[in-house]
Amino acid sequence: MSRLLAFAFLALVTAAPRAGAVQPPAAAEGATAYRMQVQGMACPFCTYNVEQRFNRMDGVQYVDVNLDKGQVVVVTGKGTTLSRPDVAELYREAGFKLKQMQEVPLNRANLANQ
């Protein structure tokens, strides 16, 4: 019985959102999502580096990096757009290479870690 309770508790704890975890934005009017394929990211520090660079940009509301897929999703607010040359330069300065960038509908299925 105690094993069953321990298992149930573990399942609840791991299913709950982490404290401080950034939740994906709701589909706000005027928000834009960009999905990017990036070459060269190899570790959690790479992920952190990319997240911090985008989070310093005005208008960026959300950044989601999937290290395993080499994929990054960035959501910008109304009136903010990302240009491919600017994003390619951001990655180049960070030591990575932008392979592909596309504007995608803002929904949970298009987030990098889904």
Note the pLDDT tens digit of each residue in 47-57. Answer: 999 999 999 99
Q: Are 114 and 73 in contact (CB under 8 A)?
A: no
Question: Is residue 36 very low, low, confident or very high in pLDDT (cuts 50, 70, 90)?
Answer: very high
Q: Which two tokens stand for residue 52?
A: 């911090």
Domain annotation for the chain: domains and CATH numbers: 2-110 (3.30.70.100)
Rounded to two decimals, the pTM is 0.72
Q: How far apart are CA 19 and CA 43, in angstroms?
A: 23
Beta bridge partners of 70: none
Helix (H, G, I), strand (E, B) or coil at 93: helix
